[in-house]
Amino acid sequence: MRLRALASTAACGLALLFAAAPSASAAEGRFTYLYNDPSGAPHLGGLIDPPSGVCITLREVEHPWTTPAHTPRNDTDATAVVFADAHCEGPYFSLRPHGGHASERLKVRSVVFS
């Protein structure tokens, strides 16, 4: 009888643990930037509802032979920290939530949201 009660209590505890497990969080909203294709033509790139706490290298400008993105705009509900190099390395700059932005002088290759 005690063993059954102990097993039942353990099962309930595990069920509660998994029920309370946090879901993956994401910054809600849109993050945009401008980049140039190999011919030099400008394009608008962006991320919608990006994951929080994960470094995101911008695929259009990840390679060193491409020109970096610029003019980032953070319309998410989280702070965006943009980096000059891929893999969230190099000099960085923080953009506030809900409209933080920078000019074409800020060169960007990766970003992380908090």
Tell me what percent of the residues of the chain surpass a pLDDT of 90: 77
Tens of pLDDT, residue by residue over 27-57, are 999 999 999 999 999 999 999 999 999 999 9
Contact between residue 70 and residue 105 where contact means Cβ atoms under 8 Å apart: yes
Rounded Cα–Cα distance for residues 93 and 15 (Å): 42
pLDDT for the residue 3: 42
pLDDT score of 72: 98
State the chain's mean pLDDT as an integer. 85
Q: Which amino acid is at 6?
A: L
